[in-house]
């Protein structure tokens, strides 16, 4: 039995979040997810040809959604070859509890989303003084 199957067999209420991601099979746009040395998470999404105004970034209920309706191609241009995809897309990422989106920036066709962990006070380590 896989770990995911074990999880599903012992969980309740995860249906909606799992449905959100089961329909997200596309590899477009290409992206990387990693942690920086200072412990912050980062998602880089390659969006050549898109501008800030072409992209929507929404964070709700632990799901980060990034989408675009596509970019209109100029009508007065006849492409011999057009290898830069500027199509519509929607991609989603699960963001762990106690994490928030710190910033989103776009430079040179790369959308960068920075994620930071923000533990509530009751979850932070408590140093106990010894009397």
Considering 68-77, 88-97, 100-109, the range whose residues carry the highest mean pLDDT is 100-109
pTM across the whole model: 0.72
Question: Phi/psi of residue 6, each to 5°?
Answer: -60, -45
pLDDT of amino acid 70:
85
Which of 15-19, 26-30, 32-36, 56-60 is predicted least confidently?
15-19
Chain-centroid distance, C-alpha 94: 7
Neighbouring C-alpha atoms within 13 Å toward the C-beta of 129: 1
pLDDT in tens, 54-79: 999 999 988 999 999 988 777 888 88
With b for 16 or more beta-carbon neighbours within 10 A and e for fewer, the 37-61 pattern comes to eeeebbbebebeebeeebbeeebee
Tokens in use for 9? Answer: 């067999």
């Amino acid at each position: 039995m896989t770990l995911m199957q074990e999880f599903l067999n012992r969980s309740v209420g995860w249906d909606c979040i799992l449905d959100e991601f089961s329909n997200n099979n596309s590899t477009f746009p290409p992206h990387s997810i990693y942690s920086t040395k200072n412990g912050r998470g980062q998602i880089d999404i390659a969006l050549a040809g898109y501008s800030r105004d072409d992209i929507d970034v929404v964070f709700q209920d632990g799901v980060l959604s990034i989408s675009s309706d596509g970019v209109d191609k100029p009508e007065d241009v006849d492409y011999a070859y057009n290898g830069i995809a500027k199509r519509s897309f929607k991609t989603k990422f699960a963001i762990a509890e106690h994490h928030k989106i710190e910033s989103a920036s776009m430079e040179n066709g790369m959308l960068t989303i920075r994620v930071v962990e923000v533990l509530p006070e009751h979850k932070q380590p408590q140093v106990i003084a010894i009397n």
